[in-house]
Chains A and B, each alone.
Chain A
Amino acid sequence: MGVSAPNSHLVPDWDSVFAQLNKGQMTDFPGGVHPPQAKALSNTTPIATPNLPDVLYIPIKQHSGVVGTISVSIGDQVKKGQALTFSSHPFSVPVHASTSGTITDIMEHPSAHASGLPETTIVLTPDGKDTWDLLPVIEDYKTASAMVLLERISDAGISGLGGAGFPTYIKTNTQKSVECIIINGIECEPYISSDDRIMREHALQIKQGIDILCHITQAKRVIVAVEDNKPEAYKALAEACGDDERMLMASVPTKYPAGGEKQLIQVLTGCEVPNGGLPIDLGILMYNVGTCFAIADAVLYGKALTQRVVTLTGQALTKPQNVWALLGTPIAHLLEHAGYKPDQQKRQKVIMGGPMMGFTVLNDTVPVVKITNCLLVPAQDELPDIDDEKPCIRCGVCADACPAGLLPQQLYWYSKAKELDKAQDYHIHDCIECGACAYVCPSEIPLVQYYRQTKAAIRQEADDKAKSDKAKERFEARQARLLADKKAREEKHRKAAEARKAAMENKGNDAKDKIAAALARAKAKRAAAAKAAQDNQQDDAN
Chain B
Amino acid sequence: MIAALITLGILALIFGAILGYSAIRFKVEADPLVEQIDAILPQTQCGQCGYPGCKPYAEAIANGDEINKCPPGGEATIRHLADLMGVEAKPLDGAHGTEDVKKVAYIREAECIGCTKCIQACPVDAIIGASKQMHTVIIDECTGCDLCVAPCPVDCIDMIPVKETPTNWQWKLGKNAGGTVGDINIKELT
Contact = CB atoms under 8 A, between A and B. Distances in A.
Contacts of A117: 164-166, 169
Interface in A431-448: 435, 438-441, 444, 446, 448
Contacts of B169: 113-115, 117, 456
Contact of B43 (A351, A450, A460, A469): A469
Interface string B160-190: 0000111011111111011011111111110
Nearest to B141: A474
Give the size range of A's interface with the partner: 35 or more
A446 B186 contact: yes
B125 interface: yes
B136 interface: no
A387 B186 CA distance: 10
B181 A360 contact: yes
Contacts of B124: 471, 474-475, 478
Contact of A116 (B123, B181, B188): B181
Contact of B185 (A111, A440, A444, A467): A444
Interface stretch (A295-303, A378-386, A503-511): A378-386
Contacts of A439: 186-188
A471 B44 contact: yes
Interface in A417-474: 418, 435, 438-441, 444, 446, 448-450, 452-453, 456-457, 460-461, 463-464, 467-472, 474
Contacts of B186: 355-356, 435, 438-439, 446, 448
B146 interface: no
A457 B170 contact: yes
Interface string B130-173: 00000000000101000000000000000000001110111111
B174 to A, nearest CB: 7
Contact of B184 (A119, A359, A461): A359
B145 to A, nearest CB: 9
By CB atoms of chain B within 10 A, which of A114, A359, A441 has the most?
Answer: A114
Contact of A472 (B38, B75, B125, B172): B38
Given A111-B166, A384-B189, A460-B168, A360 B38 contact: no
By CB atoms of chain A within 10 A, which of B165, B177, B183 has the most?
Answer: B183
A452 B123 contact: no
B41 interface: yes
B68 interface: no
B45 interface: yes
Contacts of A453: 170-173
B183 to A, nearest CB: 5
A165 interface: no
B76 interface: yes
Q: Interface residues of B: mostly helix, strand, loop or mixed?
A: loop
By CB atoms of chain B within 10 A, which of A456, A471, A474 has the most?
Answer: A471
Nearest to B83: A421
Nearest to B175: A387
A435 B175 CA distance: 18
A33 to B, nearest CB: 8
Given A449-B177, A450-B173, A386 B43 contact: no
Contacts of A115: 164, 166, 169, 181-182
Given A387-B177, A471-B44, A471-B124, A358 B170 contact: no
Interface in B91-131: 123-126
Interface string A388-424: 0100000000000000000000000000001000000
A296 to B, nearest CB: 31
B178 A475 contact: no
Interface in B21-73: 38-39, 41-45, 53-54
A82 to B, nearest CB: 26
Contacts of A472: 38-39, 43, 54
By CB atoms of chain A within 10 A, which of B44, B53, B184 has the most?
Answer: B184
Given A360-B182, A475-B43, A475-B123, A384 B173 contact: no
A387 B174 contact: yes
A339 B42 CA distance: 54
A36 interface: yes
B174 A471 contact: no
Given A356-B186, A439-B186, A444-B187, A478 B123 contact: yes
A89 B122 CA distance: 32
A114 B171 contact: yes
Contact of A386 (B166, B175, B185): B185
A389 B183 contact: no
B178 A468 contact: no
Contacts of B126: 474
Contact of A389 (B41, B76, B174): B174
A467 B166 CA distance: 19
Given A383-B184, A384-B189, A475-B123, A446 B168 contact: no
B43 A114 contact: no
Contact of A448 (B53, B166, B183): B183
Contacts of B174: 387, 389, 446
A6 interface: no
A497 interface: no
A514 B5 CA distance: 82
10 contacts: A113-B166, A115-B164, A359-B183, A360-B183, A361-B181, A385-B178, A385-B185, A446-B185, A463-B168, A471-B141
Q: Return the 7 tightest CB-CB contacts between A and B, nearest first.
A: A387-B178, A471-B43, A474-B124, A468-B43, A115-B169, A452-B171, A472-B43
Interface of B: 38-39, 41-45, 53-54, 75-76, 79, 123-126, 141, 143, 164-166, 168-175, 177-178, 180-189
Given A449-B173, A471-B43, 6 more contacts: A115-B164, A359-B183, A386-B187, A448-B183, A463-B168, A467-B143
